[in-house]
Structure 1
C-alpha cells in the first residue's frame, strides 16, 4: 500500500504523519517551548497508526527529517526512526529539513529562504526556487542588513526566525510569511514518497542527523 511513517522533530514542533502513496492521511503535531518530543513522539506515532487503521506491519518505509535543527530534537527523531527500522526491517528515508519547511510555500515567482533559528542572530538557511530546487546549499550564517542583498527577486522568508530577522532584513523585495513557522511531517509525505520510489534510502546503521555545526565544537586552551 506504500504507507510511510514521517517523523519531524528538528525544531520545537514534534510532528508525525502517515502517508499513503505520497498523500498525508493523518498528521499529529504540537509545538511547545519545552521541547516535549521525548514524551510526545511515540504517543503520536501509535495514535496516528491507530487513526489510519493500520499497524506497523503495513508500513513500507520510515522517513525522518535529517536536519539541520535542534541537536536534541534531531537525536530523538532519528533514534526513534532507526529503532523502528531495525525492529521492523524497513528502509530509512532521510529528508532535508529546510526543504520540508520551504515546501509549505505556494508561490509562482520569486525565491524561498527557509530559516531555522540557531542562536542570537544566527540561522540555518538555504535558498530554493518555486520548484523547491535548492539553489544554495545549507549554511549557518549570521544575519545582518547585508544578508541576501545580491538577490533581486522577491524573497519569501519562512521559519521561526522572523521576529529577530525582520529588524535587519528590511529591503523592499523581502517578504516574511509569518504563518509558516516550523517544518511539519505533513509536508514530508510527497518528499519521502519520491525518495521511496527511487529507492533513495540511507544506511540505518550508519546514518546520523545533519547537525551542520559539529565542527564548531572546541576545547579550552590551557594557560
Structure 2
C-alpha cells in the first residue's frame, strides 16, 4: 500500500510517501515561502528522486485542517487535483492529530498548539494507548487560558508542540500546574510523514472520501468572511433603521422618500 501525504496547514510545507508501513521519502521545509511556491516542486522532486509513478499510489493523505486558511486551500486543492486526475481517494487527517502523531508512544497527554491568532490556539488533547493514538479532546479553537484550565484539571503530565507554543510559553510556564515539556525541534512542527502514517491507519479502517467530496476543515470562518459578515450585518441594521423611520420623524425642513 502506497500513501502519498501532503501537509501545508502551517508555515511548514511537507510531502512524504509511505509504502507498506515504511517511509520511502520525506521532504519538509519550514521557511518563509508560500506553499504555492514550494508544495508542487517538492512533490516533483520526490517523484524524480525515487522514480515514483503517481498512478501507483493507493490514496492521498492530506492534513485537512485546521490551520492557515491559505495553506489549507493550497494543500486541499493539490490533494483534490491529484485525486481527481489519478482517480484516487483522499484521506482527511485532522491537522492536530497528525501533529500529535509525531510523538508516537509518548507518555502522558500530547497537546498540539497552532497559533490561531485572535488570542486563540487550534488544539486538542491526545494520548497513546496500546500504541494507538487516542483522542481525549477533539480538535478545536480555544483560548490558551481555557486550555490550561482543562489540562490542570486532568492532572497528567503534558507534552506540547506546534507553532502556538512559542507565543504562549510564558503563560504556560506561569499557569500550568502539571509537569510539562516541549517536544524537541525535529518533532515540533507539521510533517507529512506523520500524516502518511496516520493516514495509512485511517485507510485500513475505510476512513477516506472521494477526491470530489474532499474539503478542508477550517473550524472557524476566515477574517475576510468575518469582515464580509460584519459588513452585511451593518448594512442590514442601516436598512432596518431606515425602514422604521416615518415622515413624522423629520423636521419641517427635512424631506422623506420611500
* TM-score calculated relative to the size of structure 2: 0.79
Q: Which residue of 2 aligns with 1:219?
A: 230
Offset at residue 60 of structure 1 (A): 1.4
Q: Which residue of 2 aligns with 1:192?
A: 199
Contact 1:22 1:192 in 2 (8 A): no
Contact 2:88 2:211 in 1 (8 A): no
1:10-54 per-residue CA deviation (whole Å, 9 max, x = no partner) reads 0011100011013211011111234x2101111111111222222
Offset at residue 126 of structure 1 (A): 0.3
1:41-99 per-residue CA deviation (whole Å, 9 max, x = no partner) reads 11111111222222112211111111110000010011011111111111111111111
Where 2:214 maps in the other structure, the secondary structure is coil
Where 2:47 maps in the other structure, the secondary structure is helix
Contact 1:162 1:178 in 2 (8 A): no
Q: Which residue of 1 aligns with 2:166?
A: 163
Where 2:102 maps in the other structure, the secondary structure is coil
Task: Say if 1:193 and 1:41 are closer, same or farther in 2 by CA, change over 3 A.
Answer: same
1:163-211 per-residue CA deviation (whole Å, 9 max, x = no partner) reads 2211111234222225233111011222111222233211322321010
Equivalent-residue separation in structure 2 for 1:90 and 1:142 (angstroms): 38
Contact 2:90 2:214 in 1 (8 A): no
Equivalent positions of 1:106-185 (< 5 A) are 106-131=104-129, 132-144=133-145, 146=149, 148-170=151-173, 171=176, 172-179=178-185, 180-185=187-192
What are the ranges of 5 or more consecutive residues in structure 2 without an aligned counterpart?
A: 239-258
Q: Which residue of 1 aligns with 2:208?
A: 201
Q: Which structure has more helix as a fraction of its residues? A: 2
Equivalent-residue separation in structure 1 for 2:16 and 2:97 (angstroms): 17
Contact 1:17 1:27 in 2 (8 A): yes
Task: Say if 1:106 and 1:19 are closer, same or farther in 2 by CA, change over 3 A.
Answer: closer
When the two structures are aligned, how many residues end up with a matched partner?
221
Equivalent positions of 1:47-86 (< 5 A) are 47-86=45-84
Offset at residue 111 of structure 1 (A): 0.6
Where 2:37 maps in the other structure, the secondary structure is helix
Contact 2:106 2:127 in 1 (8 A): no
Structure (1 or 2) with the larger CA radius of gyration: 2
Contact 1:112 1:155 in 2 (8 A): yes
What are the ranges of 5 or more consecutive residues in structure 1 without an aligned counterpart?
A: none
Q: Do structure 1's residue 33 and structure 2's residue 29 form an aligned pair?
A: no
Task: Say if 1:149 and 1:72 are closer, same or farther in 2 by CA, change over 3 A.
Answer: same
RMSD across aligned positions (CA) = 1.9
Which stretch of the first structure deviates more once superposed, 158-167 or 173-182? 173-182
